[in-house]
């Protein structure tokens, strides 16, 4: 496991913009990790069918030696470095690789914003990036995924077909031009490297029914929403985390700082609900 090397990991941290507060913790935590133990599941991260289970094994091990998740982060960063070999085999541009792996720095910033702590709490998610099923292309992320039978029947497609789930990073610039570019490039990317054309789906609070009346026309959210035909809605409080930068709490106690926060808070106080919308990208 020559790639499990502290100098390589630190160099990679700078390349993907990991903040200094985290970088300073890495040398202190690196030597707590037993390479023999992680080698038992390390390579499973590169197989989509095994990657999620591999993460659970990593989490179980690192939680016993490091409560602030830095050891877990170190191992995941080393796997990210190793995963470049698979990007390279497919001929995928290094920019796509770096843009995709910058999810690490984005997640750290988000968690600090929400909690005031420098830690890493998104290991349950990044196995997707490491096993080459989720990529950032332009402003958006695209995840190759199976589709459940009920939804496949609603869309009148074969349940064995793969689809692309669209994710919206918190730092995405949602102008019409940037969004159009991302969808076009994603379509070309998956045709070139996966020899496939996929249906684009999105499940997000950004597609919630109520936002139609709560957002400004030509805002970033408006630009994103207009590209989707909604299939169904689900009641959800997902918006709290992304709109108010809080994990939970009573919205009546939140102090709104933006027009969107003000609009949503008033909507809830007036007895309204918020939903998640499941949509299909319009042709």
pLDDT of residue 175: 98
Give the pLDDT mean for 236-260.
Answer: 90
In the chain, what percentage of residues exceed pLDDT 90?
Answer: 86
pTM for the predicted model, two decimal places = 0.95
| Predicted local confidence at residue 1, as pLDDT | 59
* Structure-block tokens of residue 245: 């930068």
- pLDDT of 207 above 90: yes
Which residues in the chain belong to E strands, given as ranges? Answer: 134-137, 140-145, 163-167, 199-204, 228-235, 275-281
pLDDT tens string 37-72: 999 999 999 999 999 999 999 999 999 999 989 999
- 73-89 tens-digit pLDDT: 999 999 999 999 999 99
Residue 45 is classified by DSSP as G
User: If DSSP codes are grouped into helix, strand and coil, which group holds residue 31?
Assistant: coil
Task: For the beta carbon of residue 94, count every other beta carbon within 10 angstroms.
Answer: 10
In three-state secondary structure terms, 217 is coil
| Residue 106: HSE in the Cβ half-sphere, 13 Å Cα cutoff | 15
Kindly list the domain boundaries of the chain, sorted by start residue.
1-131, 133-283
Q: Identify the residue whose tokens are 């994603």.
A: 186
pLDDT at 2: 65
Domain 133-283: CATH architecture, name and number where available: 3-Layer(aba) Sandwich (3.40)
Which residue is it, tokens 């989490």?
Answer: 59
Per-residue pLDDT tens over the stretch 143-170: 999 998 889 888 888 888 899 999 999 9
**Statement: residue 171 has pLDDT above 90:** yes
Mean pLDDT of all residues in 207-233: 96
């Amino acid at each position: 496991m020559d790639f499990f090397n502290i100098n390589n990991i630190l160099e990679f941290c700078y390349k993907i913009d990991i903040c200094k507060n985290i970088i300073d913790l890495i040398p202190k935590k690196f030597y707590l990790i037993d390479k023999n133990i992680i080698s038992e599941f390390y390579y499973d991260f590169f197989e989509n069918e095994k990657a999620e289970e591999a993460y659970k094994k990593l989490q179980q091990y690192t939680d016993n030696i490091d409560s602030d998740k830095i050891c877990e982060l170190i191992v995941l960063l080393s796997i990210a470095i190793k995963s470049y070999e698979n990007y390279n085999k497919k001929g995928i541009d290094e920019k796509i690789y770096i843009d995709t792996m910058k999810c690490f720095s984005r997640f750290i910033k988000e968690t600090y914003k929400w909690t005031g702590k420098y830690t890493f709490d998104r290991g349950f998610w990044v196995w997707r990036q490491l096993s080459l099923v989720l990529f950032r292309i332009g402003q958006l992320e695209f995840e190759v995924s199976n589709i459940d039978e009920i939804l496949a029947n609603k869309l009148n497609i074969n349940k064995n077909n793969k689809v692309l789930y669209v994710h919206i990073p918190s730092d995405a610039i949602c102008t019409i031009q940037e969004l159009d570019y991302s969808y076009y490039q994603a379509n070309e990317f998956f045709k070139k490297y996966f020899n496939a054309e996929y249906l684009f789906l999105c499940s997000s609070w950004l597609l919630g029914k109520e936002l139609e009346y709560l957002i400004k026309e030509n805002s970033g959210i408006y630009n994103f929403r207009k590209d989707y035909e909604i299939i169904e809605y689900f009641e959800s409080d997902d918006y709290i985390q992304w709109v108010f930068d809080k994990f939970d709490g009573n919205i009546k106690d939140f102090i709104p700082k933006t027009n969107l926060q003000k609009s949503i808070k008033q909507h809830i106080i007036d007895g309204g609900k918020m939903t998640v919308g499941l949509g299909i990208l319009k042709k």
